[in-house]
Chains A and B, each alone.
Chain A
Amino acid sequence: MKLAITVWNGRIAPLFDVAKQVLIVETEGFGSPVTELTTIELHNDSVAQKIATLAAIGVKALVCGAISREYEEALLNADIELDAYVAGDVTDILEAWQRGMMHQRRYSMPGCQRPRHRCRGRRGQGQGRGQRWNHLRDD
């Protein structure tokens, strides 16, 4: 499967909406070694164009920093699984993603309890709302 990670200065780009560089990671899935790494440039495109670019290259999951609602909904509609509000060095994040550790607080942006994980299937099971907001701090 293909995973996309937005990159800026070696870290996760702070805002997906304007992220220009995306690392595309080809892997068999969680725990499997990375088979290919490529970087693509995203231009200042519209929401639809940006998501269409990712979908066209077969991206199934995205790890990014903050993201505004319209982009988030468009990604879910394109069946792309999302880990948002993630912060950290790209290599650390990629390793955490492969190990299935993305729910840990240390990978989240300030103010979040954990990165926000969303995917279309879980929405359908009525967990979407909870999934959507549980990244916010409880305290």
Chain B
Amino acid sequence: MDTITTETILESISDGVFTIDRSWRITSFNKAAERITGLSREDAIGLRCSEVFKSNMCEGKCPLAETFATGKPIINQNGYIVNLAGKRAPVSVSTALLKNKEGEVIGGVETFRDLSEIEQLRKLRARNRFGDIETNSEAMRSVLTMVPAVAQSSSTVLILGESGTGKEVLARTIHSCSTQKKGPFIAVNCGALPDTLLESELFGYHKGAFTGATQDKLGRFALARGGTLFLDEIGDISMAMQVKLLRVLQEKQFEPLGSQETEKTDARIMCATNRDLEALVEQGKFRKDLYYRIHIIAMTIPPLRERKEDIPLLADQFLKRYNMLNNKNIAGFSSAVYAQFYAYMWPGNIRELENVVERAVVLCQTEQITVADIPFEVAHAAPLEETEKVPTTTVSIMREAKESTEREYIIQALQRNGRRVAEAAKELGMHRSTLYRKMEALDIDVDML
């Protein structure tokens, strides 16, 4: 290929390309390189590549230096460059040696791809997003599609799901899309409080209602006026408390402790539990009337093990959060970490994943989280649960059945067509050579028919 053709090609491609001599000075700089770095070739040619490229790889991880040292090309090494405005742009770099006709190394070539757009796309890759929740999971998508309609209604919502699946996050999302979004979102963990405390927390009290009640205190029902009251762990409250709660839900009014006056509330009620309320009703541990009062709109959040396609999205979100909180700059997770994330069953769901990422960010001393940074149980999770594996016996039975049926069809077709393979192939809708291959594989001898 002549020089003019090479230059034309280099000028027309979207990857940045520059070449250097043995003293690290730039000898050529294509149009895409000008665009990505923001420098003209007049500015770049003749200068040190590190001062033109300004990458995090230049000092210590230079791919061209490695290519010079080993003679081997580097393919797609990821890093970033910093432009003159101080903005980082992610790039993927590949390198190769430049040799003259005698085979002597005269320099190197570096091609680099601007990954900014890919990075943007990665951020937008969640097919569905609602408020703080983004998902790629079909199961979760069906939950999110309910959110707009549920948000516009004033009916009580029951959010079901295992511990750590993000029930409160979903409740907050519904609240933020609702007509009362400007009002407060008040969350109470009913399971964490004993009856007497829960009662005073929910309904409030007047001064003198009990020893230590030295002044009036507003309850959560009062505080949530014009907003949303989220009652978490509703399945854990006592039967006595269930009666009191039922009355508020039915009549939208309550009496603070020590008060003779009835107060009204217009708070939207959302409840959540990780318990099987239906079973609790059957066991007589949860009032049927309360169950039907709160079970108007039920939304079930799938556990993380059933929406593993969301693991990268969630892990990235947590990585960003804990990078910020810990003043770190970790770029991502190694592929081995992702493999373990997929293999692990996440009994603690999203909360557990968040904790694992937080721990990894704190422990990680490099630019990428590796298996060494994640807890033992995640790092050593088996690729698939035994129960999820398709038994080998089932596979072989299926294969045998398929082969036997196929064999029978072919033999019948050959017999019908007077053992003429071409005719039988035509009847079976396949090419003659395909039928020959199948006959050989299935051990069918036409002369024996």
- Inter-subunit contact A46/B329 (CB<8 Å): yes
How far apart are B349's CB and chain A's nearest CB, in angstroms? 29
For B47, list chain A residues within 8 Å (CB).
110
For A68, list chain B residues within 8 Å (CB).
82, 86-88
- Inter-subunit contact B82/A110 (CB<8 Å): no
Q: Across the interface, name the chain A residue whose C-beta is closest to B50.
A: A14
Does B212 have its Cβ within 8 Å of any Cβ on chain A? no
- Inter-subunit contact B54/A69 (CB<8 Å): no
Interface residues in A7-35 by Cβ distance below 8 A to B read: 8, 11, 13-15, 17-20
Interface residues in B48-76 by Cβ distance below 8 A to A read: 48, 50-56, 58-60
* Option from A18, A19, A46, A65 in Cβ contact (under 8 Å) with B51: A65
How far apart are A13's CB and chain B's nearest CB, in angstroms? 6
For A47, list chain B residues within 8 Å (CB).
327, 329
**Alpha-carbon gap, A84 to B51, bound state (A):** 12
- Inter-subunit contact B39/A19 (CB<8 Å): no
* Residues of A within 8 A of B (CB-CB), count: 29
**Alpha-carbon gap, A111 to B38, bound state (A):** 8
For A109, list chain B residues within 8 Å (CB).
51-52, 54, 84
How far apart are B396's CB and chain A's nearest CB, in angstroms? 53
Interface residues in B112-144 by Cβ distance below 8 A to A read: none
Does A104 have its Cβ within 8 Å of any Cβ on chain B? no
For A112, list chain B residues within 8 Å (CB).
84
For B365, list chain A residues within 8 Å (CB).
44
**Given that A14-B59, A15-B59, A66-B54 are known contacts, is A111 also in contact with B328, CB under 8 Å in the complex?**
no
- Inter-subunit contact B39/A20 (CB<8 Å): no
For A18, list chain B residues within 8 Å (CB).
56, 59-60
- Inter-subunit contact A110/B43 (CB<8 Å): yes
For A44, list chain B residues within 8 Å (CB).
365-367
Q: How would you classify the secondary structure of chain B's contact residues: helix, strand, loop or mixed?
A: loop
**Alpha-carbon gap, A17 to B44, bound state (A):** 22
**Given that A20-B60, A46-B328 are known contacts, is A15 also in contact with B86, CB under 8 Å in the complex?**
no
- Inter-subunit contact B327/A65 (CB<8 Å): no
For A19, list chain B residues within 8 Å (CB).
59
- Inter-subunit contact B54/A13 (CB<8 Å): no
- Inter-subunit contact B87/A69 (CB<8 Å): yes
- Inter-subunit contact A15/B367 (CB<8 Å): no
Does B326 have its Cβ within 8 Å of any Cβ on chain A? yes
Q: Across the interface, name the chain A residue whose C-beta is closest to B42.
A: A110
Does A80 have its Cβ within 8 Å of any Cβ on chain B? no
**Alpha-carbon gap, A85 to B54, bound state (A):** 10
**Given that A66-B82, A110-B52 are known contacts, is A49 also in contact with B59, CB under 8 Å in the complex?**
no
- Inter-subunit contact B58/A110 (CB<8 Å): no
Contact with B along A77-88 (1 / 0, CB 8 A): 000000001010
28 contacts between A and B (CB under 8 A): A8-B59, A11-B48, A14-B50, A14-B54, A14-B58, A14-B59, A15-B54, A15-B55, A15-B56, A15-B58, A15-B59, A17-B56, A19-B59, A20-B60, A44-B365, A46-B326, A46-B329, A47-B327, A49-B327, A65-B54, A68-B86, A69-B85, A69-B86, A109-B52, A110-B43, A110-B44, A111-B43, A136-B84
Counting from the closest, the 6 A-B pairs by CB-CB distance are A48-B327, A66-B54, A46-B327, A69-B86, A14-B50, A111-B39
